[in-house]
Amino acid sequence: MHASTQQENAVGMNAVGMDEKLAEVMQAKAEHQGCGTSGGSGKASCGSSAGQGDLPTEIWEKVKNHPCYSEEAHHHYARMHVAVAPACNIQCNYCNRKYDCANESRPGVVSEKLTPEQAAKKVLAVASTIPQMTVLGIAGPGDPLANPEKTFKTFELINRTAPDIKLCLSTNGLALPDHVDTIAGFNVDHVTITINMVDPEVGAKIYPWVFWKHKRYTGYEAAKLLTDRQMLGLEMLTERGILCKVNSVMIPGINDKHLVEVNRAVKSRGAFLHNIMPLISSPEHGTVFGLNGQRGPTAQELKALQDECEGEMNMMRHCRQCRADAVGLLGEDRSAEFTTDKIMAMEVNYDLDSRKAYQALVEEERVAKVAAKQEELEALAGEQSDIKLLTAVATKGSGLINEHFGHAKEFQVWELSTAGAKFVGHRRVDLYCQGGYGEEDSLETIIRAINDCHAVFVAKIGGCPKADLIKAGIEPVDTFAHEFIEKSAITWFKEYLNKVKTGEIVHTARGDAEIRQGALINAA
Amino acid sequence: MTLKIVASQCTSCSACEPECPNVAISEKNGTFVIDPKKCTECIGHFDVPQCAAVCPVDDTCVIDNAYPRYQPTA
């Protein structure tokens, strides 16, 4: 299903921080361009960038509040998943349903499963506490459509009690064609299908079996069945105007090169967004891939593939590979606040008007940011250079360099060129519960995670890590503390180009970087 | 005989429950169990026991030798 995480966006706007936030925003000079407004082409990526861009109005209306379909929206709007669908109808080599650990988090692993009634209560509880929660997804931990009664009962209950919440689901696609009409009937306008191959020869290496019509199929036959059903389901959805995101797990040596073909196949069938995620694979997960030593991609391998697929198709770069019971903004996990015991004891007061009022404030903030972002784009006018490099940014959100180096659980990665600053992803650096990442080597972990970057922008940094970063060839930059990311990065980049021009420094390429394994949980 | 679910291996995913043609599977103490009085090993319904075919953990839905072989009535 999905896979890793982080939290630059501590935009955790509860009503209290709102005034302060709005004030910040009014003086904003720049914020996100979205993860793919690569200066020249003006192509809005990650679903939609800072504004409507070239999206038709009816599609913009669907994506603008959906954190997974719009990179920019994910700084403002939260989602939640309810784990009502534990059963699955296929087996994937990157999934092991048996393995569970309280301190561990991966897609397919949840703390507790819910009944549809508990799920509906939970949605109301979260919606009342987090007014920017706009999307309810069912993503497992199995397959929502292998549990159709539970999934649709949940949708029905939520439609009745909280009709303003968008419904979405994430499926492997095997049972999808059977349920498209029901999905459309519930006004679900976002469906994610995990598609890892369109060639059954490749699929046979990923899926040991599928269960369909009372029979277990294996090998080529299983993968052929799955891919045929996925393509049919995708076509049926897009025909009905339902937006489809395709998730693909990048498995080096198995489907990495093949995903370009997958990209073409889903694009031609009308998929809206493609999310290529790194394989999470570690022996302690007990998955087939984990146990046979199958590695995940490096950061540069992942980025190269995403870049290759980014053309006419929107690529999602802000996925944190969250769990089937995640709650909150992408990159934060508030699920611990909403355990079944807690929600059952909660007095829920679902106030649609106050939610709408809150969301109206968020919209004002977004408009202000969009209006303020032009200036920095002009700063690079006239610059000519082939240099393209990556920089890491420690941020708590709001588009600002506002996190202390040592406190960052993830870094945003921005690609700088004369075309501008482009968001290309996140790198997790939080300490993971297993695998012996102790305090003492946390700096090493961070350096490995951003080793392909030339600089790291921080609000503050201590002397020791500063020296170690310089030794590793990464320039720590703390002179833009609490300033906007894009503007600062571009200013720094202009200086960098000047220094190269004058011969003060020599531009050299950086190495590759490591992708942390496992999804983020705040408890880690 | 009948099938049984090895409780220590059951992930409680519930996939087997709706597949059983005899409604012999239910949840008990956090895992799923098969009622040996109702289980027919899917004989007469399907070629293979459905619980075993859909179970995500190998060797979890297995023949329970404590019971005599199921005899379909004509």
Q: Which of B13, B15, B50 sits opposite A214 (nearest CB)?
A: B50
The DSSP line for A254-305 is TTTTTHHHHHHHHHHTT--EEEEEEPP--GGGT-HHHHTTPPPPPHHHHHHH
Considering CB atoms only, which of B13, B48, B53 is closest to A97? B13
Q: Is A89 in the B-facing interface, judged by CB distances under 8 Å?
A: yes
* Residue B54 in contact with partner chain A when CB distance is under 8 A: yes
The nearest alpha carbon in chain A to B20 belongs to A214
CB–CB of B57 and A91 under 8 A?
A: no
Neighbour count for residue B36 (Cβ, 10 Å): 15
Which residues in chain B touch residue A142, judged by CB atoms under 8 angstroms apart? 13, 15
Nearest alpha-carbon partner for A109 in A216, A5, A22: A5
Is the CB of B26 inside 8 Å of chain A's CB atoms?
no
Q: Which of residues 194-223 of A touch B (CB under 8 A)?
A: 211, 214-216
Tell me, what amino acid is at A29?
A: K
Say yes or no: A87 contacts chain B, CB-CB below 8 A.
yes
- For residues A407 and A302, which has the higher predicted lDDT (pLDDT)? A302
pTM, two decimal places: 0.83
* Mean pLDDT lowest among A38-42, A97-101, A200-204, A495-499: A38-42
pLDDT of A56 over the 70 cut: yes
- pLDDT digit string, tens, across residues B9-29: 998 999 999 999 999 999 998
Best residue of A100, A145, A215 to probe chain B, by most B CBs closer than 10 Å: A215
Q: For chain A, give the mean pLDDT.
A: 81
pLDDT at A99 over 90: no
User: Does the CB of B22 have a partner CB in chain A at under 8 Å?
Assistant: no
Q: What is the mean pLDDT of residues A39-44?
A: 34
Query: What is the rounded CA–CA span in Å between residue A463 and residue A345?
Result: 48
pLDDT tops 50 at residue A437: no
Q: Which two three-digit tokens encode residue A60?
A: 């913009």
Ranges A264-268, A296-300, A346-350: which has the least confidence: A346-350
Question: Which among A91, A113, A147 has the least Cβ separation from residue B56?
Answer: A91
A368 vs B: CB within 8 A: no
Say which DSSP state A460 is in. Answer: B
Whether A88 has its CB under 8 Å from any CB of chain B: the answer is yes
Of residues A113, A146, A215, nearest to B15 (C-beta): A146
β A475-477/A327-328 pair status: unpaired
Q: Report CA A396 to chain centroid distance, whole Å.
A: 16
Q: Is B65 in CB contact (< 8 Å) with chain A?
A: no
Nearest by CB to residue A86, choosing from B13, B47, B53, is B13
A408 to A42, A281, A442, A517: CA distances (angstroms) = 31, 24, 11, 17
Give the nearest partner residue to A86 out of B14, B46, B57, using CB atoms: B14
Q: Which of B13, B18, B50 faces A88 most closely, judged by CB atoms?
A: B13
How many whole angstroms separate alpha carbon A370 and alpha carbon A372? 5
- Give the ipTM of the model, two decimals please: 0.92
Confidence of residue A90 (pLDDT cuts 50, 70, 90): very high
- pLDDT of A15 over the 60 cut: no
pLDDT tops 90 at residue A410: no
Q: What is the DSSP letter of A452?
A: T
Q: Which residue on chain A is closest to B12 by alpha carbon?
A: A86
pLDDT at A324: 76
For domain B1-62, the CATH architecture is 2-Layer Sandwich (3.30)
pLDDT band at A103 (very low <50, low <70, confident <90, very high): very low
A14 vs A297, more confident: A297
The answer to whether B19 faces chain A, any CB pair under 8 Å, is: yes
Predicted confidence band at A473 (pLDDT cuts at 50, 70, 90)?
Answer: very high
Q: Which of the two residues, A111 and A412, has the higher pLDDT score?
A: A412
Binned at pLDDT 50, 70 and 90, residue A396 comes out as: confident
pLDDT at A350 over 90: no
DSSP code per residue over A70-127: -TTGGGT-EEEE---B---SEE-TT--SS---TT---TT--S----HHHHHHHHHHHH
CA distance B14 to chain A (A): 5
End-to-end CA distance of chain B: 18
Say which of A98, A142, A214 has its CB closest to residue B15. A142
> B7 and chain A: CB distance < 8 Å anywhere?
no
pLDDT at A325: 79
* More confident call, B66 vs A522: B66
Under an 8 A CB cutoff, do B15 and A91 touch? no
Q: A265 CA to chain B: closest CA distance, Å?
A: 29
Interface contact B63, partner A, CB < 8 A: no
Report the C-alpha gap between A100 and B65 in whole angstroms. 30
Task: Determine the average pLDDT of the residues in A107-132.
Answer: 83
Q: What end-to-end distance do the CA atoms of chain A give, in Å?
A: 21
Interface contact A160, partner B, CB < 8 A: no
Q: What is the DSSP letter of A218?
A: E
Query: What are the φ/ψ torsions at residue A97 (nearest 5 degrees)?
Result: -75, -15
Instruction: Enumerate the residues of chain A whose CB falls inside 8 A of the CB of residue B14.
Output: 86-87, 147
Report CB contact under 8 Å: B14, A214.
no
Instruction: Give residue A373's pLDDT.
Output: 61
pLDDT value of residue A148: 95
For residues A143 and A79, what is the distance between their CA atoms, to the nearest angstrom?
A: 18
B50 touches chain A (CB under 8 A): yes
Residue A434 has pLDDT above 50, yes or no: no
Domain ranges of chain B: 1-62
**Position with higher pLDDT, A183 vs A55:** A183
| Res A487: pLDDT | 86
In degrees and rounded to multiples of 5, residue A466 shows phi and psi of: -60, -50
Q: Is the pLDDT of residue A390 over 70?
A: yes
Looking at per-residue pLDDT, the higher value among A16 and B56 belongs to B56
pLDDT interval class at A42 (50, 70, 90): very low
Chain A contact present for B14, CB below 8 A: yes
pLDDT at position B74, please? Answer: 53
Chain B neighbors of A149, CB-CB under 8 A? 18
- Chain A to chain B Cβ contacts (< 8 Å): 46
For A87, nearest residue in chain B (alpha carbons): B15
Cβ(A328)–Cβ(A81) under 8 Å? no
What is the distance in angstroms between the Cα of B16 and the nearest Cα belonging to chain A?
Answer: 8
Euclidean distance between CA atoms A259 and A263, whole angstroms: 6
